[in-house]
Amino acid sequence: MKKNWLVLSLFMGCVVSMTAQNADNDPEIMKVNGKSIKKSEFEYIYNKNNQQQIDHKSLDEYVVLFKNYKLKVAEAEAHKIDTTRAFQTELAGYRKQLAKPYLVDTSVDDKLAQEAYDRLKEEIKVSHILFNVNPGSSVEEKEKVHGRALEVLNKIRNGADFNKMADEYSEDPSVRQNHGNLGYITGFRTVYPFEMAAYQTPVGSVSEPVETQFGYHLVKVWDRRPSRGEILTAHIMIMTSPEDTPDQAKAKEAKIKEIYQEVIQGGDFAKIAREKSEDTGSAQKGGEMPWISTGRIVPEYEEAAFALKNVGDISQPIKTAYGWHIIRLLDKRALKPYDEMKPLIMRTIARDERGTLGQKVLIGKLKKEYHFTINETAKERLNSLISTAYPTDSLYLATIANDRLPLFTLDGEIYKISDFAQDAMGMRRSVRNASAKMMLDLMLDAYVNKTVLNYEDSQLERKYPDFRNLMNEYRDGMLLFEISNQEVWDKASKDEVGLAEYFKKNKKKYRWDEPKYKGFVVKCSSKEIAKQVKKRIKTLPIDSVVMYVNKEFNNDTLKQVRIERGLFVKGDNEIVDKLAFKIGEKPVDSKFPVIFVSGKMLKKGPQVYTDIRGQVTADYQNYLEEKWVEQLNLKYPVEIHEDVLKTVKKD
């Protein structure tokens, strides 16, 4: 389906209100061809149109516009445009996008975004001890790991050194290098539960065991400081390797020191980086690195870079696990304001564990609103079968496929075990190492949550007038475009006979006060070429002159002619001014010194409608539109409820 109907419709908008409204307070204001139109739809479009247009319409004027708009929609429906696959696919895609904010608790997302921004303003130095939990572990196994974490926590609270406990107990592979010390972190630098524990634990304290996808963590907070913002740096790097021999290591250290001397003695940093840096990705950009903030790069580089105070400052050579670096500070900036950061924060939230929190909160509210109840007997039946088959196995699903026992109710609707089985057949995927009981719980939760959201999705038009009105508006706009294109625009642009007849009947309205020159403006490389072009123009159909002249006298390497066709008034073209209107100076072009015009002067008006095709086509479209609307008013019945119309509120 085409999208450019948006440019013509006065009835499009994007304001979304999530206030539910009782249908009893929304009376019928109009009926077109038997189709009821509610007051809320008319009021919504009327007010939005007046807000968006400079020329505000009175209520009476707008009723006529709205009625004619709905008559065109009725005609599109009579042509069954709304039943085509293309139409339905596009409408469904739009509805899916429009429904998204209604299927999540946006207040939760707003709170999470503000929380994340506040955390970006502060950096926290943390260490941790990790106790691994294998994916799919049973409750008993997880409790055992949790118990070990508590034992270590008690030792620390009784005076044991945190770093030594990390070395002894942590199952994080990096503990051998960092003794559990993660340095400074900020928002989004760790998984969300870990971040929560870090920001909620006072300096000097150790958190209770916090569960993440990796296991249980004990988090110690050593320090808190304001965000240092972001810095832009460039570096010159000499790479090292753990396999380097002592002689190789000395040679690389000597090389970086030699480069350092060259830099501080006035050498061009970017030029030296391009020539000598072994970080090929940044070397080609003069050593420039991406913007960095805390936690974005190896700690040694980070600390050295942030220690540079002024733009242009250069560090001494510093060593990281990857090699030697000389760092130059190119720029620095503070954390951007919240309003500027919010779109990026929201996108980042959508990709981590926070992304589902708004939806989970909404699902909880919807369960209460729709009186969700689970049948424990049905759950017990499902659980009893996992002793003989895993819940994603074909045998298990086949066993419950025809079970009509009610599983849960939602808003009075009963969902059976067989419904769950049918949905589960689409899953057929297991969580790695998950027990049968855990997998069944995950599958049940997913099915219930999907069912609740699907049901809410089906109620959006009923619950939210703005959603319903936007959907009606988009649907009707699509229909309006398609039917108008068929009956007016496409017809007018292709109806050569109709255009000519319309022009003939209305020729007087296209008269002009100033004469216009109709024809071709030609510039040639020589008199001989000009002579040939003049001769050729006389033999060609007028509409094909430009194409054939360009094709016959020009190619990719040789240009002998410049030709232009048009309807010119004084001042439009220097050549026409000089040769046709006899004013001005002859233009000079060394490449095309020979000029001439070919055509005629029209003193009173155009000869044929093609002289002003665009204007005539637009007028002809308006004419067809008026005739079409007259026919529609005769074809379809319209009822307008004046008593309801009087209650329309103007914003």
How much is the pLDDT for 129? Answer: 97
**pLDDT tens across 531-555, in order?**
999 999 999 999 899 999 999 999 9
How much is the pLDDT for 10? Answer: 34
Q: Are strands 594-602 and 516-524 parallel, antiparallel or unpaired?
A: antiparallel
Q: Which residue has the higher pLDDT, 350 or 269?
A: 269
pLDDT at 53 over 90: no
- Mean local confidence (pLDDT), 507-525: 93
How much is the pLDDT for 5? Answer: 35
Structure tokens that stand for 7 in this block:
């440019």
Q: What percent of the chain has pLDDT over 70?
A: 94
pLDDT at 163 over 90: yes
413-416: strand order across its sheet:
373-374, 406-410, 413-416
How much is the pLDDT for 396? Answer: 92
How much is the pLDDT for 230? Answer: 94
- Mean local confidence (pLDDT), 483-508: 92
Q: Which residue has the higher pLDDT, 430 or 308?
A: 308
Q: Which of 213, 57, 64, 217 is nearest to 135 (CA)?
A: 213
How much is the pLDDT for 513? Answer: 87
Sequence-distant (6+) residues with CB within 8 A of 604 are 511, 512
What pLDDT band is residue 27 in, cutting at 50, 70 and 90? Answer: very high
What pLDDT band is residue 13 in, cutting at 50, 70 and 90? Answer: very low
What pLDDT band is residue 54 in, cutting at 50, 70 and 90? Answer: low
How much is the pLDDT for 17? Answer: 42
The DSSP call for residue 335 is P
On average, the pLDDT of the chain sits at 91
What pLDDT band is residue 95 in, cutting at 50, 70 and 90? Answer: very high
Considering the entire predicted model, what is its pTM? 0.70
Q: What percent of the chain has pLDDT over 90?
A: 79
What pLDDT band is residue 279 in, cutting at 50, 70 and 90? Answer: very high
Q: Cβ atoms within 10 A of the Cβ of 538, count? A: 8
**Residue 121 corresponds to which amino acid?**
K
Lowest mean pLDDT among 226-240, 262-276, 396-410, 415-429: 415-429
